[in-house]
Amino acid sequence: MRKQRLIEQLTAAERRSAEVGEQARLATAEAARLREAIEALPHAIVVCDTRGDVVLRNRRSLDLEGGRHAAALVQRAVEEVVAAGGGTRPVTQTLELHGPPPRALQVTGTPMGRTDRPSGTVVLVDDVSELRRLEAVRRDFVANVSHELRTPVGAMGVLAETLADEPDPDVMRRLALRITAEAERAGRLIGGLLDLSRIEAAGVPGSRTVDLGAVVAAAIEEIDS
């Protein structure tokens, strides 16, 4: 009886050991998949524990550092968002690196775990330099187009007022033709805006040949008229 009991105890111990080994293997495989997922993300990732110490980071976070001074600024920004969030709320900070080249990094810390039992903070560092450049280009473009549209619209208003009080048929005809030309000019500007919208929606279209002489001649005609 004692021998049978001893065999059963040894068998149970072997079973528990096998289960522990399988759990350890699964945990190792899960950790490896997590590392692969973090490395595959297009953003820099830094994971900190509840004390704010870095426990995990991907290669992109190292690539962003660039130099010693930039590395110190990135590390300080990570520490600040982790401390500001306190493991309970997300915090975002924008870091300006003067370069060269100048860059803007958006550092966002998001708490992990439950509010009453935080387990750390995951920090995402995103290079938003190109996004800022595109936003600046868009703002300049909209400002330029707005200015360009005011010119033909204002001209049409003045021409229409003059036309209303003009008794000479020849002058009326010239004024009407001028209004038509300004309306076509405004239409071309609006068409350009629509083309830009289509390009942004569908991608960059193929190149095309532009008659530069015709463009210059049209600009000279608008100035002279």
How confident is the model over 191-211, as pLDDT tens digits?
A: 877 777 777 666 555 566 777
- Domain ranges (residues) in the chain: 41-127, 132-224
Please tell me if the domain spanning 41-127 has the same topology as the one spanning 132-224.
no
| Residue 168 vs residue 218, higher pLDDT | 168
Tell me the pLDDT tens digit for each residue of 10-32.
566 556 665 566 566 655 667 66
- Report pLDDT for 132: 84
Amino acid at 171: V
Q: Which residues contact 189 (CB under 8 A, 6 or more apart)?
A: 145, 148, 149, 152
State mean pLDDT over 88-96: 85
Threshold 0.75, pTM exceeds: no
Assign a CATH topology to domain 41-127. Answer: Beta-Lactamase (3.30.450)
Distance separating alpha carbons of residues 51 and 120, to the nearest angstrom: 8
Q: Which residue, 92, 94, 93, 86, is CA-closest to 121?
A: 86
128-140 confidence digits (pLDDT tens):
888 888 888 888 8
CATH 3.90.1310.10 describes domain 132-224: no
The dihedrals phi and psi of 208, each to the nearest 5 degrees, come to -145, 155
Our separate counts of H helices and E strands in the chain read: 6, 5
